[in-house]
Amino acid sequence: MPAQELDHSNIVEFIADIFERRGAESYLGEAVTMSEHMLQGAVLAEKEGAPEELVAAALLHDIGHYTSEFGTMSLGDERDNYHEEAGAHVLEPFFPPVITECVRLHVPAKRYLCATDKGYYERLSDASKHTLSLQGGPMSPEEVAAFEQNPYHREAARVRIWDDEGKQPGM
Ligand code: FE
C-alpha cells in the first residue's frame, strides 16, 4: 500500500505489515529484536491495566526507526536520527495527541527520569546508559520544570518505563 493512500481505515494494517516485514531487525545493543521490544512494551502496559492509548503508545514508540516506510510523509533522512520526533510526526495524522506525545517524549522522558528518580539510571540497559550521554544526559532542573509543563508528561514517563522493561530475551 503506497504511503500516500494511508488513512484511518488502513493505518493499522500498514503498521502491522511493517512489524511483520521488518520487526526481526536488531535493536542496536539489545538482546531482543525491534518487534519483540515494541510488543513487550505493549504487553507490560496491558498487564498494568493501562488505558488503550498508552498500550498503543508503548507498541508504537519506536516506529520512528521505520519512517522511510512512510515515504514522503517522513521527516527526511533514512538514518533515523531523532527517531522520537520522526515517529510522532508520521503518527500525527492518525492518532490522538496522547499517543504522539508519548512517542515524541520517550527519549526526553528517559533524561527526565534519570534526573528525578534515584535508581532509574541503574536499571537501564548498558546500551541505554550509553545513549543517554549522546542524548544530553540527565535533565537540568530547568529542563525538568519545562518537561512537567507538558500535559502528557506523566503518561510519557510510564511509556518510557515499559520501553526500558521491554528488552527481555525470550519473554
Ligand atoms: Fe524503545
Q: Which residue has the cell 512489524?
A: 19
- In this prediction, residues 23-38 reach a mean pLDDT of 90
Ligand 1 mean position to 1 CA, how many Å?
Answer: 26
Ligand 1 mean position to 7 CA, how many Å?
Answer: 25
Ligand 1 mean position to 133 CA, how many Å?
Answer: 16
Over residues 60-78, the pLDDT tens digits come to 999 999 988 988 554 555 5
Ligand 1 mean position to 69 CA, how many Å?
Answer: 18
Ligand 1 mean position to 128 CA, how many Å?
Answer: 9
Ligand 1 mean position to 113 CA, how many Å?
Answer: 15
Supply the DSSP string of the chain, one letter for each residue: --GGG--TTTHHHHHHHHHHHHTTSB-TTSSSBHHHHHHHHHHHHHHTT--HHHHHHHHHTTGGGGGGGGGGGS-S-TT-TTHHHHHHHHHTTTS-HHHHHHHHTHHHHHHHHHHH-TTHHHHS-HHHHHHHHHTTSSPPHHHHHHHTTSTTHHHHHHHHHHHHH---TT-
pLDDT of 156 above 70: yes
| Cα–Cα distance, 82 to 101 (Å, whole number) | 14
Ligand 1 mean position to 4 CA, how many Å?
Answer: 27
Ligand 1 mean position to 37 CA, how many Å?
Answer: 7
Would you state the cell numbers that stand for residue 29, as one nine-digit string? 545493543
Ligand 1 mean position to 164 CA, how many Å?
Answer: 7
pLDDT at 80: 44
Tell me if the pTM is above 0.85: yes
Over residues 79-99, the pLDDT tens digits come to 545 889 999 999 999 999 999
Ligand 1 mean position to 42 CA, how many Å?
Answer: 11
Band (pLDDT 50/70/90 cuts) for residue 26 is confident
Residue 24: which residues within 8 A CB-CB, separation 6 or more?
A: 33, 34, 35
